[in-house]
């Protein structure tokens, strides 16, 4: 992996996101803090409904109309986005933050050629001419290993396979050198060989361009392999944070341990059952009092159900759990 500098490209503190009418809003992200250093790959992992995608989209200023976002700190490459106008925020993020969405077909305009959509990025944010932007599009498709890029730029999204569309989205992110790439479940619905190819491209961006990455996934094995640091989310909160290299041996939260235990291993005994988590994640509007994981946790007691545990630092990371072995 590329070397990681100390200065952060993204800083967010106490992020809260709510949806719905003003008087009946439902908060779905509860006080999340996130920092991504230059050249760092940070993974956000959790089940569906944990708040990981909403957190990532809030960081990219891509939440839909009607959402309400509040944060005490929101900085990107040193610029204060919290006090910026929408236009100033778009200028700060537009050419320096790229997003690869879960479903590229929903992100690409089906009525426009792929190359034209890619060219828009540098024409708007870098002032490139139409001719130069078109040449850039061919070059970026070639860099993500799409065969025949001179021909492919003139094709429509439906003429690309799922893996090619995802690579085209990565190529679009390369049109201007991004400081940060947000990848939201980028390998969903792709077969395993194409998944590996897409992830290899993201790692290559990190190594060759020094691009920081926020990788959102429910796949904790993928997160452990690709990332420098891991944030585990549950019920709209970060419940554990630690280095990816320490994930298998130093994880402390029962939820993190269950996610790790649910991953099949080639060296596992055939008669050894995989770990399962009973129940289902809480609905965003019905988060229980206390620890949100308590109804599914075998270690939970009355104290766990009475108050939300704080995210407390320890020698190898931070964890929000009364049963994590930290001193009271």
Residue-range domain boundaries for the chain: 8-96+180-192+204-274, 105-176
State residue 116's pLDDT score: 95
Tell whether the torsion through CA atoms of 300, 18, 211 and 131 is positive or negative: positive
The answer, yes or no, to whether residue 296 has pLDDT greater than 80, is: yes
How far apart CA 239 and CA 245 sit, in angstroms, is: 18
Tell me what pLDDT residue 20 has: 87
The larger pLDDT score, comparing residue 154 to residue 286, is at 154
Where residue 328 falls among pLDDT bands split at 50, 70, 90?
low
Contact 149, 142 (CB under 8 A): yes
Q: How far apart are the first and last CA of the chain?
A: 37
pLDDT of residue 175 exceeding 70, the answer is yes
Mean pLDDT of the chain: 91
Token pair in block for residue 291:
């620890």
- The kind and range of the H/E element at 38 are none
For residue 1, how many other CB atoms are within 10 A of its CB?
13
Q: For position 66, what pLDDT does the model report?
A: 86
Q: How confident is the model at residue 176 (pLDDT cuts 50, 70, 90)?
A: confident
Q: Do the strands 97-100 and 79-80 form a parallel or antiparallel pair, or are they unpaired?
A: unpaired
pLDDT of residue 327: 55
Identify the band that residue 139 occupies on the pLDDT scale cut at 50, 70 and 90: very high
Q: Is pLDDT above 80 for 57? A: yes
Is residue 80 over pLDDT 90?
A: yes
Which band of pLDDT confidence, cut at 50, 70 and 90, is reported for residue 165?
very high
pLDDT at 30: 95
Name the most confidently modeled range: 42-46, 139-143, 268-272: 42-46
- What is the mean predicted confidence (pLDDT) over 226-232? 97
Class of domain 8-96+180-192+204-274: alpha beta
Q: What does the pLDDT average to over 310-327? A: 88
User: What beta strand segments (E) does the chain contain?
Assistant: 8-19, 26-37, 41-45, 68-70, 73-76, 79-80, 97-100, 180-184, 212-217, 229-234, 237-243, 312-314, 317-319
Structure token digits, residue 71: 């944060």
Q: DSSP for 82-93, please give it.
A: TTS-HHHHHHHH
Among 122-136, 185-199, 284-298, name the one with the lowest average pLDDT. Answer: 185-199
Which DSSP symbol is given to 187?
A: T
- With CA atoms as reference, report the closest residue to 9 among 161, 206, 199: 206
Q: Between the CA of residue 211 and those of 96, 201, 202, 216, 228, what are the distances in Å?
A: 10, 12, 9, 16, 13
* pLDDT band, very low/low/confident/very high, at 133 (cuts 50, 70, 90): very high
Residues contacting 167, CB < 8 A, separation 6+: 141, 144, 145, 146, 197, 198, 201
Q: How confident is the model at residue 220 (pLDDT cuts 50, 70, 90)?
A: very high
CA angle at 179 for the pair 176 and 133, rounded to the nearest 5°: 0
State the chain's maximal CA–CA distance in angstroms: 67
Among 233, 263, 262, 258, CA closest to 31: 233
Residue predicted with more confidence, 293 or 263:
293
- pLDDT bin (cut points 50, 70, 90) of residue 326 is low
């Amino acid at each position: 992996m590329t070397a990681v500098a100390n200065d952060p490209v993204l800083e967010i503190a106490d992020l809260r996101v709510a949806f719905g009418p003003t008087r009946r809003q439902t908060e779905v992200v509860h006080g999340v803090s996130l920092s991504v250093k230059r050249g760092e790959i940070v993974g956000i992992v959790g089940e569906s409904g944990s708040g990981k995608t909403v957190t990532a989209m809030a960081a990219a200023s891509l939440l839909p109309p009607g959402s309400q976002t509040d944060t005490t700190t929101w900085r990107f490459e040193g610029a204060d986005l919290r006090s910026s106008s929408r236009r100033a925020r778009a200028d700060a993020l537009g050419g320096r933050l790229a997003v690869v969405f879960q479903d590229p077909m929903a992100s690409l305009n089906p009525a426009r050629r792929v190359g034209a959509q890619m060219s828009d990025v540098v024409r708007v944010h870098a002032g490139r001419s139409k001719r130069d932007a078109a040449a850039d599009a061919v070059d970026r498709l070639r860099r993500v290993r799409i065969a025949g890029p001179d021909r492919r730029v003139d094709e429509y999204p439906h003429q690309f396979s799922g893996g090619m569309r995802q690579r085209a989205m990565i190529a679009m992110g390369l049109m201007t050198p991004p400081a940060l790439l947000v990848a939201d479940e980028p390998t969903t619905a792709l077969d395993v060989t194409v998944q590996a190819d897409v992830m290899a491209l993201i790692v290559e961006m990190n190594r060759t361009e020094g691009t920081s990455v926020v990788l959102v996934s429910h796949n904790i094995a993928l997160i452990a392999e690709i990332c420098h640091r891991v944030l585990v989310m549950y019920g709209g909160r970060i419940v554990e944070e630690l280095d990816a290299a320490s994930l298998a041996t130093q994880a402390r939260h029962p939820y993190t341990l269950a996610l790790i235990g649910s991953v099949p291993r080639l060296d596992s005994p055939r008669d050894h059952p995989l770990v399962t988590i009973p129940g289902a994640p809480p609905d965003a509007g019905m988060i229980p009092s206390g620890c949100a994981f308590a109804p599914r946790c075998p270690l939970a007691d009355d104290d766990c159900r009475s108050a939300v545990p704080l995210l407390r630092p320890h020698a190898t990371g931070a964890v929000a759990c009364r049963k994590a072995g930290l001193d009271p």
